[in-house]
Amino acid sequence: MAYDPERHHRRSLRLRGYDYTQADAYFVTICLEQRRYLLGEVIDGEIR
C-alpha cells in the first residue's frame, strides 16, 4: 500500500519542549496479537 498523507496521518504523542535524550524512566506499551500474555502475566499487580 502506498503512503497517502490524507489517510496515514498521526499526531505526535511527545510532550512539546521535553528533552527525550535525557536519562529518565519511560513507560512502554506493547500491543500483541489477540492480547495474549506472551511477555508475562499480571499477578498481584506485578508482571511475572
Count of alpha carbons within 13 Å of 30, Cβ hemisphere only?
7
1 belongs to a structural domain = no
2 belongs to a structural domain = no
**Which structural domain, as residue segments, surrounds residue 21?**
13-48
Residue carrying the nine cell digits 489517510: 7
Count of the separate structural domains present in the chain: 1
8 belongs to a structural domain = no
pLDDT given at position 48: 82
Q: Is the pLDDT of residue 20 over 80?
A: yes
Q: Could you give the CA distance from residue 25 to residue 34 in angstroms, rounded to a whole number?
A: 28
pLDDT given at position 2: 82
Element (H, E) at 42: strand 42-43
pLDDT in tens, 21-45: 989 888 887 777 787 777 788 889 8
**3-class DSSP state for residue 47?**
strand
Q: Is the pLDDT of residue 10 over 80?
A: no
The β-bridge partners of 24 are none
47 belongs to a structural domain = yes
pLDDT given at position 17: 92
More confident site: 36 or 46: 46
28 belongs to a structural domain = yes
33 belongs to a structural domain = yes
Whether the CB-CB separation of 41 and 47 falls below 8 Å is answered with yes
